[in-house]
Structure 1
Amino acid sequence: MPVTCLVSAKSCGVTTAALALTLACARSSLLAECDPAGGTIRAGLLRGQVSAGYGLHHLAAAERVGPAELAQAFAAHLVPLDGSAGHRRALLGLTDPAQAAALTRTWSALSDVLHVMAESAGHDVFVDAGRLTLDAGRLHAVLTPAPLLHRADLVLLTVRGTEQSLTLARHLLGPLRAELAERGTGAEALGLLLIEDGPYRAHQVADALKVPVLAALPWDPAAAAYLGVGGKAPRGFARSRLLRYARTATEQATVFAARRQVHQRYPAPAHPHLAGLADLPDRPVSSRGAARG
């Protein structure tokens, strides 16, 4: 399963989008709230029901002891997002932005843990990396969890379909693409998650930013408000447009990440007459030849 990082140029509903993807996922899922500016799920959706005794900031001390201690601390600090079912869990974010500096050397080790959760434990992993901050054209070492982005299977820049959002995103795309190409899994890991708020549609956003829109979520104020502040879920929340679109988005992310892994493992053939094989359309497998689960 993929590790997907969500980021933004400015507040574009990254946390709400990450929560929607985590809750809508058809498989076991995990949300790591890794915004150095501080987490909002604890006081928002969970309405302060989880104390500061749980959360991301406790992992720094464990990481300094060793990998086994970090893994144990990580497991101990996960909290359920779906009641007692436990199929959707979260690592809650910082309670104070001042804690971010202590995590600078923890991000790489945490990335290892998240990939184990995805690859060995079969979880869809979503990382709320918050608002991107640059320092001399690179991701800021303290204000952005850069190692998580470097290792991610997919990095989704969250944008709205407005002129303001596209303008802000445009200034970040060059440095972010270069960073992923130089230090990450490749510039091809970058895509857009469109929040359908504003006049611009997906194809217009992709054309304007020269980056593919890999998924879109509808503007659903009632469902988004619940994810932001908690309380009583609106009627029909589980069947809301936001969660229905979010489930589709998780499947699109999985397919995209799987294709990237194939291309990375088997680069395009050097022979020109074979190059077209990489672009063959997907074809459904007949029931006669399909594996039975």
Structure 2
Amino acid sequence: MTVIALVSAKSSGVTTSALAMTLSSTRPSLLAECDPAGGTLRAGFFQAQITAGTGLYHLAVAERAGEDNLAQAFADHLVRIDASGNRQVLPGLTDPAQAPALERSWPALAQVMRVLSDEGGYDVVIDAGRLALESGRLHTTLTPAPLLHGADLVLLVVRATDQSLALARHMTEPLRNELTDRGTGADALGVLLIEDGPRRPHEVSEALRLPVMAALPWEPDTAAYLAGTGRTPRKLNKSALLSSARTALGHFQAAASRRTLHQQYPSARPAPAVPAAPQVAGVLQRLGQGRVDPRV
């Protein structure tokens, strides 16, 4: 289906938004917590029930032993967030000091996520965390740049406040350049607006010179539950946040499809195509074991 990477200039609700989309997807979905600054789902949403023995760091260790080991480890380090196994999470780093070990593993992980989307029919949501720059480019250690390069869409998550816009404004040009030079094109970049503040979507779009591709309502009770700091809301299944996240995913999928069609024309800049190694593609078989068909 789609690979969507969420980033921010500063804490703007990236993880909560990514989790909301993963939970609300009508298809098999995966949330990959790939913030080099460390993950928060383990201590938050999962309430410390997942140990450091499970998660992203172990994939870097496996990748060094070969792609077949990476495929096996990827499936082994996912955590189910529903009984069917159709919604899963790859927990993030427990210590930012682990980030350098992943620098050489990001390209292989990007391939795995591409396979899950293109061949497995997954909605893949990447929590890429807060952007870090070095000499006007994405920092090679503190940002998982290869995951952004391979994503169908890269969404800059901002709140509807002047402060959030001021911080995000400095990130738009480096992101455009990065996606133009190494990704699938600058048109992959857009904004996911968190409606926590007075600014309206057209104001945000004008300020950042980017399209606002979707907006999520500010719903404190549901957001606190997803962050692990609040109780389960009584009417979680009727949550405006989850409903809007489901609608947003539909918009993203449509936008990704339009981009794919556009890239098929000779005049369009083709997306970089890297065939997945058979060992990497084998992750689908491992993930399919025990998963329930969501259409049943």
Q: TM-score, normalised by structure 1?
A: 0.90
**Contact 1:35–1:130 (8 Å) recurs in 2:** yes
Q: Deviations over 1:231-276 (max 9, x none)?
A: 641111121000010000011110000110110112559xxxxxxx
| Consecutive unaligned residues in structure 2, runs of 5 or more | 269-296
Q: Residue type matched to 2:96 in 1? A: P
Q: Residue type matched to 2:102 in 1? A: L
Correspondence for 2:56: 56
Percent identical pairs in the alignment equals 62
Correspondence for 1:191: 190
* Offset, 1:230: 5.7
Query: Are 2:259 and 1:260 aligned?
Result: yes
Correspondence for 1:91: 90
| Consecutive unaligned residues in structure 1, runs of 5 or more | 270-293
**Contact 2:55–2:93 (8 Å) recurs in 1:** yes
Correspondence for 2:233: 234
Q: 1:231–1:201: structure 2 CA closer, same or farther, 3 Å change rule?
A: closer
**Contact 1:47–1:231 (8 Å) recurs in 2:** no
**Contact 1:52–1:95 (8 Å) recurs in 2:** yes
- Other structure's SS at 2:12 match: coil
Counterparts of 2:229 and 2:207, CA distance in 1? 35
* Offset, 1:20: 0.4
- Other structure's SS at 1:179 match: helix
Counterparts of 1:150 and 1:7, CA distance in 2? 13
Identify which range, 223-232 or 25-34, moves more after superposition.
223-232
Counterparts of 1:139 and 1:240, CA distance in 2? 35
Query: Are 2:11 and 1:42 aligned?
Result: no
Instruction: Work out which of the two has the higher radius of gyration on C-alpha atoms and give 1 or 2.
Output: 1
Correspondence for 2:250: 251
Correspondence for 2:67: 67
Correspondence for 2:23: 23
Identify which range, 63-72 or 126-135, moves more after superposition.
63-72
**Contact 1:8–1:132 (8 Å) recurs in 2:** yes
**Contact 1:111–1:147 (8 Å) recurs in 2:** yes
What RMSD in Å do the two structures reach over aligned CA positions? Answer: 1.1
Counterparts of 1:205 and 1:60, CA distance in 2? 37
Counterparts of 1:34 and 1:43, CA distance in 2? 15
* Offset, 1:23: 0.4
* Offset, 1:204: 1.3
Q: Residue type matched to 1:197 in 2? A: D
Counterparts of 1:267 and 1:240, CA distance in 2? 44
Counterparts of 1:250 and 1:129, CA distance in 2? 17
Q: How many residues align?
A: 268
**Contact 2:221–2:230 (8 Å) recurs in 1:** no
Q: Deviations over 1:28-50 (max 9, x none)?
A: 10000000000000110010111
Q: 1:264–1:94: structure 2 CA closer, same or farther, 3 Å change rule?
A: same
- Other structure's SS at 1:129 match: strand
Counterparts of 1:230 and 1:12, CA distance in 2? 16
Query: Are 2:5 and 1:5 aligned?
Result: yes
Q: Deviations over 1:101-151 (max 9, x none)?
A: 000000000000001111111000000000000000110011000100011
Q: Deviations over 1:49-78 (max 9, x none)?
A: 111111000001111111111011000100
**Contact 1:46–1:230 (8 Å) recurs in 2:** no
Q: Residue type matched to 1:18 in 2? A: A
Counterparts of 2:77 and 2:256, CA distance in 1? 27
Identify which range, 65-74 or 7-16, moves more after superposition.
65-74
**Contact 1:39–1:92 (8 Å) recurs in 2:** yes
Q: Residue type matched to 2:4 in 1? A: T
Counterparts of 1:241 and 1:267, CA distance in 2? 42
Correspondence for 1:135: 134
Which 4+ stretches in 1 moved above 3 angstroms? none
Q: Residue type matched to 1:128 in 2? A: D
- Other structure's SS at 2:176 match: helix
**Contact 2:155–2:191 (8 Å) recurs in 1:** yes
Correspondence for 2:154: 155
**Contact 1:45–1:231 (8 Å) recurs in 2:** no
Counterparts of 1:216 and 1:156, CA distance in 2? 11
